[in-house]
């Protein structure tokens, strides 16, 4: 575990100087459910790979203005690292009005290189690739309450804590298996997949014959 690690909590926006300039950003979200057009965005977690993870909490009456957070999410020069980026991209587009790309998705990469298993959750990836154990006990908790517990804050932070290291390892495996270009094509399509979800085609394969 990194030394002097801290979870920084913020209301409604990220401080302007919170993140290292230009660094890739690990990003995740917590919401009231898994339907971006229905369920409220409650928390955005973000990390530049340094010692701190930042949690930005939005209240039930939020206008989601968040100019500092939006600026870093919208920066086309910053790579954004996700685990199942499809959902995060969609819900941030819906509430923040930002498509937070370009993208690297560790779940998509895992599906392309870990074809020996059907277990592609973050917990399994962190355990196998990095030798660390993380708790998912708070995954289904109420993220819209007036107070986030210490357990919730730690859970939210852990969702971005390992994404830089996972990305590095998965890049090696993608190259080894000759699937780097295929992965990049998938990452480039993810924002469009998120837009399809928001437009009403969440589970429909529009490329299918029937």
Residues 91-119: pLDDT tens digits? 999 999 999 999 999 999 999 999 999 99
Of 137, 138, 126, whose CA–CA distance to 30 is shortest?
Answer: 138
What mean pLDDT do residues 115-144 have?
A: 89
- How would residue 137 be classed by pLDDT, with cut points 50, 70 and 90? low
H helices, E strands: number in the chain: 7, 6
Distances (CA, A) of 93 to 29, 131, 198, 199: 12, 33, 9, 12
Bridge partners (DSSP) listed for residue 41: 31
162 is in which domain, residue-wise? 6-199
What mean pLDDT do residues 135-139 have?
A: 67
- Cα torsion 134, 159, 190, 81 to 10°: value is -110
Neighbours of 113 (CB within 10 A): 18
Residue 140, pLDDT above cutoff 80:
no
pTM of model > 0.85 = yes
Residue 79, pLDDT above cutoff 50:
yes
d(CA 130, CA 89): 25
Distances (CA, A) of 57 to 62, 67, 74, 127: 10, 14, 19, 28
Of 161, 195, 169, whose CA–CA distance to 8 is shortest?
Answer: 161
Domain-located, residue 206: no
Residue pair 20/73 in contact by the 8 Å Cβ criterion: no
Domain-located, residue 208: no
Residue 136, pLDDT above cutoff 70:
no
Residue 1, pLDDT above cutoff 50:
no
Considering its fold, how many domains does the chain have in total?
1
What mean pLDDT do residues 24-32 have?
A: 98
What mean pLDDT do residues 41-62 have?
A: 97
Domain-located, residue 144: yes
Domain-located, residue 39: yes
Of 27, 42, 38, whose CA–CA distance to 198 is shortest?
Answer: 38
d(CA 71, CA 167): 23
- How would residue 4 be classed by pLDDT, with cut points 50, 70 and 90? low
CATH number for the domain spanning 57: value is 3.30.420.10
């Amino acid at each position: 575990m990194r030394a002097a690690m801290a979870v920084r909590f913020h209301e409604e926006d990220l401080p302007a100087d919170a993140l290292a300039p230009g660094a890739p950003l690990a990003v995740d979200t917590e919401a009231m459910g898994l339907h971006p057009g229905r369920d409220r965005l409650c928390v955005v977690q973000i990390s530049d790979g340094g010692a701190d993870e930042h949690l930005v909490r939005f209240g039930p009456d939020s206008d989601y203005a968040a100019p500092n957070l939006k600026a870093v999410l919208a920066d086309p020069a910053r790579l954004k690292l996700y685990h199942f980026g499809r959902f995060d991209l969609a819900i941030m587009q819906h509430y923040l009005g930002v498509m937070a790309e370009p993208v690297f998705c560790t779940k998509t990469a895992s599906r392309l290189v870990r074809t020996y298993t059907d277990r592609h959750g973050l917990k399994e990836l962190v355990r196998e690739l990095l030798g660390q154990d993380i708790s998912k006990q708070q995954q289904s908790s109420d993220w819209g309450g007036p107070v986030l517990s210490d357990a919730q804050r730690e859970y939210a932070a852990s969702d971005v804590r390992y994404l830089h290291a996972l990305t590095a390892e998965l890049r090696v495996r993608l190259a080894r298996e000759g699937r780097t270009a295929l992965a990049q094509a998938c990452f480039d399509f993810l924002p469009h997949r998120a837009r399809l979800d928001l437009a009403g085609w969440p589970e429909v394969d529009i490329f299918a014959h029937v």
